[in-house]
């Protein structure tokens, strides 16, 4: 399992869908057109969503034990 996981600041997210289109494993989804969510069990910590986010609301954090 990856050491990092993407985390979305829901208050800053503009629900543009860029993360959805960028994530190679479809871990990022826009929830009801409001904000993105990351399915942590699917996220491999590649950081592609964070790099592509135009709002800058996705950051990579250390994964906590599940």
- For range 22-35, the mean pLDDT: 96
Pairwise pLDDT comparison (65 vs 37), residue with the higher score: 37
Domains of the chain: 4-62 (3.30.70.20)
Instruction: Indicate the average pLDDT of the chain.
Output: 95
The answer for residues whose C-beta is within 8 angstroms of residue 62's C-beta and 6 or more apart is 3, 4, 5
1 band by pLDDT with thresholds 50, 70 and 90: low
Tell me the pTM.
0.89
Contact by Cβ (8 Å): 17, 59:
no
Q: What is the secondary structure of the chain as a DSSP string?
A: --SEEEEE-TTT-----HHHHH-TT--EEEETTTEEEE-TTT-----HHHHH-TT--EEEEEPPP-
């Amino acid at each position: 399992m990856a050491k990092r996981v993407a985390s979305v600041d829901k208050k800053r997210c503009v629900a543009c869908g860029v993360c959805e289109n960028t994530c190679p494993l479809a871990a990022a989804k826009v929830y009801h057109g409001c904000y993105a969510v990351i399915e942590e069990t699917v996220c491999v910590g590649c950081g592609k969503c964070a790099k592509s986010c135009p709002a800058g609301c996705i950051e990579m954090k250390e994964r906590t034990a599940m």
